[in-house]
Amino acid sequence: MSTAVAAAPAPVAEIDLSHAATDQILRRLGVVIGIGALIVMMLELPAVLVQPVYLARWPEIHLVSAYVLFAVLAIVSARGPVRAIRRAAGAAAVVYLAAAAVTPLLYSVTYIGSFASWPYRGLAVGALAAGLAWPRRVAAVFVALLATVAAISNVLVIPGSSMWTLVGDITRALGVAALFLWCVVYARAAAERVDREAIRQRVRAATVAATTAREREGARFAALIHDAVLSTLLEASRSAGSTPVLRRQAARTLEQLEQSRNAPEIDHFDAAATVEFLRDAVREVDPELPVQVSSRGADLRLPVESARVLGAALMEAVRNSLRHAGAPGRTVRRGLSVTIATGGIRVVLTDDGVGFDPARVPADRMGITGSILGRMRTLAGGAAFVESAPGAGTVVTLVWASDG
């Protein structure tokens, strides 16, 4: 028999699940871009300090001002709200563009032997920040502007530059900036696809869960109707008048119908409580049925709902034996054994009645298919087996294990 196992849901962090992957990639990219830009600044600082400048301007102030907002970007990405990451990235990109634009106003020429100014060499960080801050089209326009401004600024401070130098610088700048922009845009697009697929999966899962819940509730109610209501009505039709057995069964049926209106409280039975619960369930159907209990010092924790399902399946198995195992002039002996081990329980009902061929039982017969096998299949960690043959009696085994 197959066993249905229900896994407990993992705790969900307090995040917007519709943008979980996008938010995560924004944070990681923001931290990486921010820290990377600060590393670039430290590498550029020694070369900047030896550059000739106009009016004794401090080149280090120019450099630090271009990169200071990248430090803010790293901090916001690590600790701040997600909505502030794009704002910090956009501000850092704009400030870097401004720093590149004013470079010719501060420097006369770059140091002899240098092939490019630092805003041109580091324009990749500006492109990365733009890709993080804005939609792809806006970011592409900004990156093209940044590459052009950085190339023009570079030509103006590099000795011996020409128009062909400018064309080459713009081409290289556009290529490098486009490459880094593509990396960020692709990462963001991949995260957005993950979010969209996650939403679709949650919608499908919710639909399946709702359908399964309806089917399970329908099966539970159908089994309850068969086990309790129809059994009570059948007993009433067979009795000439009111009997103690009929009165007890009718009272128990009303109690089960009332309990079915409310979800059971989350609780567990230990080994002793489980045995007593099963004894009570059997007494409702056959007070004379002997129950043999074997417990190996087990530490059992059986959920209340699982105990109710197990008890209901056992009651139906006993009813079936009482109704169908006997024959005219034949006395049927029955026995019930309950074996409890740590984390599990095994219940075996046997009779030496007329038996039957399980393969010939119609699928729509609720007694075996729905009320016994079906019940135990839907129980997490549960399983049921029915062994019988004509003239050889019947053995019904119900099993539950806490590890499923």
Span 316-334, pLDDT tens digits: 888 888 888 877 777 888 8
Q: What is the pLDDT of residue 15?
A: 41
List average pLDDT for each run of 10 residues in the chain, which is 404 residues long: 33 48 92 96 84 60 93 94 94 96 77 69 95 95 96 86 89 96 94 81 57 60 61 62 66 64 60 84 83 77 83 85 79 88 87 82 62 80 87 88 68
Q: Is the pTM of this model over 0.95?
A: no
Tell how far CA 381 is from the center of its chain.
21
Q: What is the pLDDT of residue 323?
A: 81
Q: What is the pLDDT of residue 333?
A: 87
Nearest to 310 by CA among 240, 186, 396: 396
Query: Where exactly are the structural domains of the chain?
Result: 13-202, 268-401
Span 99-152, pLDDT tens digits: 999 988 877 655 544 557 889 999 999 999 999 999 999 999 999 999 999 999
Q: What is the pLDDT of residue 265?
A: 47
Q: What is the pLDDT of residue 226?
A: 59
Tell how far CA 343 is from the center of its chain.
26
Q: 311 vs 213, 262, 341, 357, CA distance in Å?
A: 21, 18, 18, 25
Q: What is the pLDDT of residue 404?
A: 47
Q: What is the pLDDT of residue 126?
A: 96
Span 188-213, pLDDT tens digits: 999 998 888 867 765 665 565 456 55
As a CATH number, domain 268-401 is: 3.30.565.10
